[in-house]
């Protein structure tokens, strides 16, 4: 019969097999999704997509204004959110130890991190859009910055905490003031990790649709100012995909392919760059 040894080996084998199957299960969806994007989107990718503005239904056009709008808002959102996040994360990891404020901030940041992005959209709608009286690219960028902030705070703190205290102590023992220790030693040691956090944040906001629905809204025409409603790729894709017009649906798939592969490319590029720069420890 089953002695203990056989039973343990069986349990081991069974669980490990399930683990392998889980991995295959996970990767299966990725392959299917990417395949779908390529098959549905690739036939409609052409130069017009990159150079022409969004068309009315039934005529030819592209996504140029949406792409530019997305780039502007993503850049601005990252630009606002990242420095705030890094400094706040630094406080949590370096200055806040033992303080009463740090645990509260950490708790709140975790909530903000998981706060549904659509709630952030509603918040910005009430605070910015209503008071400005109109939808605008700034409102969209601010909503995106609110998504960047907690991501960067969290990863910065996590990464700074991974830096061994002995490094800090060694620098302090040489007479370096704390700001110098943090900037020259701790940041440098954690640079790769912090950068990964920022990249993750950028990747996340590049495809965010929900917070833009009622902040940046959309714009069928060229707009190069963040002061008015601005076209952006995710919302255009949403509108076009849900529309009954074939042309629009094709553009939606082309946009989906474009946005996804740009994000994937950025992700992979960042990892390659990080890998070559990171010392091998």
Partner 1 sequence: MVAPSGAAQTIGRMQRGVLLDRLFRVATRFFAGMVLVVIIAIMVSLLIGAWPAIQKFGAGFLWSTEWNPVTNQFGAAVAIFGTLATSVLAMIIGIPVSFGIALFITELSPRWLKRPIGIAVELLAAIPSIIYGMWGLFVFAPLFADHAQPWLTDHLGDWPVIGNLFQGPPMGIGMFTAGLILAIMVIPFMTAVMRDVFEIVPPVLKESAYGLGATTWEVVRHVVLPYTKVGVVGGVMLGLGRALGETMAVTFVIGNAHSISSSLFMPGNTISSTLANEFTEAVGQMYTSSLIALGLILFFITFLVLALAKLMLLRLTAREGQRT
Whole-number Å distance between alpha carbons of 163 and 67: 39
Q: Name, in order, each residue with C-beta under 8 angstroms of 72's C-beta and a sequence gap of 6 or more.
A: 137, 141, 224, 226, 230
- Between 132 and 268, whose beta carbon lies closer to partner 1? 268
Write down the least CB distance from residue 26 to partner 1, Å. Answer: 5
Write down the least CB distance from residue 190 to partner 1, Å. Answer: 15
Helices (H), 3-63: 4-41, 47-51
Backbone angles phi, psi at 126, to 5 degrees: -70, -40
- Between 95 and 222, whose beta carbon lies closer to partner 1? 95
Write down the least CB distance from residue 48 to partner 1, Å. Answer: 21
Report whether 194 contacts 188 (CB < 8 A): no
Write down the least CB distance from residue 147 to partner 1, Å. Answer: 11
- Between 51 and 126, whose beta carbon lies closer to partner 1? 126
- Between 76 and 112, whose beta carbon lies closer to partner 1? 112
Q: Is the dihedral angle over the CA atoms 59, 60, 64, 70 positive or is it negative?
A: positive
Write down the least CB distance from residue 225 to partner 1, Å. Answer: 21
Q: How many CB atoms lie within 10 A of CB 218?
A: 20
Q: Name, in order, each residue with C-beta under 8 angstroms of 190's C-beta and a sequence gap of 6 or more.
A: 156, 159, 160, 162, 163
- Between 103 and 224, whose beta carbon lies closer to partner 1? 103
């Amino acid at each position: 019969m089953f002695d203990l040894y056989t039973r343990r080996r069986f349990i081991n084998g069974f669980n490990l097999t399930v683990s392998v199957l889980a991995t295959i299960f996970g990767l299966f969806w990725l392959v299917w999704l990417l395949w779908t994007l390529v098959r549905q989107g690739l036939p409609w990718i052409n130069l017009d997509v990159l150079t022409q503005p969004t068309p009315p239904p039934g005529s030819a056009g592209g996504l140029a204004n949406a792409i530019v709008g997305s780039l502007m808002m993503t850049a601005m959102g990252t630009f606002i959110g990242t420095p705030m996040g890094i400094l706040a994360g630094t406080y949590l990891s370096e200055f806040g130890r033992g303080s009463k404020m740090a645990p509260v901030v950490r708790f709140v940041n975790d909530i903000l991190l998981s706060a549904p992005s659509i709630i952030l959209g509603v918040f910005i709608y009430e605070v910015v859009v209503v008071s400005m009286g109109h939808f605008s690219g700034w409102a969209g960028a601010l909503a995106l910055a609110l998504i960047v902030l907690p991501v960067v705070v969290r990863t910065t703190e996590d990464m700074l905490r991974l830096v061994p205290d002995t490094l800090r102590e060694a620098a302090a023992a040489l007479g370096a003031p704390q700001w110098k220790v943090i900037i020259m030693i701790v940041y440098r040691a954690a640079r790769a990790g912090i950068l990964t956090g920022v990249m993750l944040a950028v990747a996340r906001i590049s495809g965010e649709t929900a917070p833009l629905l009622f902040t940046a809204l959309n714009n069928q025409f060229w707009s190069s100012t963040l002061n008015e409603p601005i076209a952006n790729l995710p919302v255009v894709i949403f509108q076009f995909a849900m529309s009954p017009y074939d042309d629009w649906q094709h553009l939606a798939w082309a946009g989906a392919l474009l946005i996804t592969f740009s994000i994937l490319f950025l992700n992979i590029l960042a990892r390659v760059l990080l890998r070559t720069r990171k010392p091998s420890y």
